Amino acid sequence: MTAYPMPLLVGHRGAAALAPENTLAGFRAAAETGVTGVEFDVRLAADGVPVVIHDATLERTTSGKGPVAAQTSALLGALDAGAWFGPRFAGEPLPTLEAALLLLAELNLAANIEIKSEGGGVRPLTAAVVAVVARAWPADRPPPLLSSFDAACVANCRDLAPGLPRALLVDRVDRAALAAAGPLDCVAIHANHRWLNEKLTTMVKTEGWRCGVYTVDDPRRARRLLDWGVDSVITNAPDRLKAALCAAR
Q: What's the N-to-C CA distance of the chain in angstroms?
A: 30
**Based on the structure, what is the number of domains in the chain?**
1
Residue 211: what pLDDT?
Answer: 97
Does 1 fall in a domain?
A: no
In-domain check, residue 4? no
Note whether residue 3 is domain-resident: no
CB 79 within 8 A of CB 64: yes
Taking only the tens place, the pLDDT of each residue in 157-215 is 999 999 999 999 999 999 999 999 999 999 999 999 999 999 999 999 999 999 999 99
**pLDDT of 68 higher than 80:** yes
pLDDT higher than 80, residue 135? yes
In a domain, 35, yes or no: yes
Secondary structure of the chain as H, E, C letters: CCCCCCCCEEEECCCCCCCCCCCHHHHHHHHHHCCCEEEEEEEECCCCCEEECCCCECCCCCCCCCEHHHCCHHHHHCCCCCCCCCHHHCCCCCCEHHHHHHHHHHHCCEEEEEECCCCCCHHHHHHHHHHHHHHHCCCCCCCCEEEECCHHHHHHHHHHCCCCCEEEEECCCCHHHHHHHHHHCCCEEEEEHHHCCHHHHHHHHHCCCEEEEECCCCHHHHHHHHHHCCCEEEECCHHHHHHHHHHHC
CB-based contacts of 194, cutoff 8 Å, min separation 6: none
232: in domain:
yes
| Averaged pLDDT, 45-65 | 97
Model's pTM, two decimal places? 0.96
Q: What is the mean pLDDT of the chain?
A: 95
pLDDT at 32 over 60: yes
pLDDT at 216 over 80: yes
* Residue 54 designated active-site: yes
- Report whether pLDDT(2) > 60: no
How far is the C-alpha of 234 from the C-alpha of 50, rounded, in Å?
22
For 215, phi then psi, to 5°, come to: -110, 120
Evaluate whether residue 2 is within a structural domain: no
Query: What pLDDT, on the 0 to 100 scale, is given for residue 118?
Result: 67
Reported confidence tier of residue 248, pLDDT bands at 50, 70, 90: low
Whole-number pLDDT of residue 119: 62
Q: Could you tell me the CATH number of the domain that includes residue 110?
A: 3.20.20.190
Lowest mean pLDDT among 78-92, 118-132, 139-153: 118-132
Q: Provide the percentage of residues in the chain whose pLDDT is more than 90.
A: 92
Instruction: Please check whether residue 165 lies inside any domain of the structure.
Output: yes
- Give the residue-averaged pLDDT of 6-21: 97
User: Residue 106: is its pLDDT beyond 70?
Assistant: yes
CA distance 163 to 166: 9
Residues of 127-160 as b/e, b for ≥16 C-beta within 10 angstroms?
A: bbbbbbbeebbeeeeebbbbbbbbbebbbbbbee
Region of 58 (left: φ > 0; alpha: ψ -120 to 50; beta: rest) is alpha
Query: Is the pLDDT reported for residue 145 higher than 90?
Result: yes
Owning domain of residue 114: 9-248
Which residue of the set 54, 123, 205, 240 is catalytic? 54
In the set 12, 43, 190, 242, the catalytic residue is 12
Task: Look at residue 208 and tell me if it is in a domain.
Answer: yes
Query: What is the reported pLDDT for 90?
Result: 98
> Is 190 in the active site?
no
The fraction of the chain above a pLDDT of 70, given in percent, is 97
pLDDT given for residue 1 in this prediction: 43
Mean of pLDDT values over 54-74: 97
In whole angstroms, give the CA distance from residue 88 to residue 82.
Answer: 8
